[in-house]
Amino acid sequence: MKPGIHPTLHPIVVHCACGAEFETLSTQSELRLEICGSCHPHYTGQKRAVAARGRVQQFEQKYADVNATAAADAKAKKKAKAVRTQRKRRKA
């Protein structure tokens, strides 16, 4: 490595909005975070399942009409095919 071109690392204390503090090395003199490993829902196990359930329900409501329409179309096609088959049998 070339000397003098790399930034110097020095120990700093990182401050989170939740009040957690930890030490690390950084080229910056100060770090302030909004969310850290101590308060992040993924790491604390407090996932927002309520929001996820709401999204699933929105998806189901949005596509419920599509599924009902597709089922009705399939039923109508099956009935039309049966009618055509009966007409062919009558002619024969």
pLDDT tens for residues 47-85?
Answer: 665 555 677 778 888 887 776 777 778 888 888 888 888
DSSP state of 2: -
Tokens of 61: 């409501």
Q: Is 56 exposed, middle or buried (0-12, 13-18, 19+ CB in 10 A)?
A: exposed
pTM above 0.85, yes or no: no
Going by C-alpha positions, the residue among 39, 40, 49, 41 that lies closest to residue 19 is 39
Residue type, 11: P
Q: Give the sheet arrangement for strand 31-33, strand by strand.
A: 21-26, 10-16, 31-33
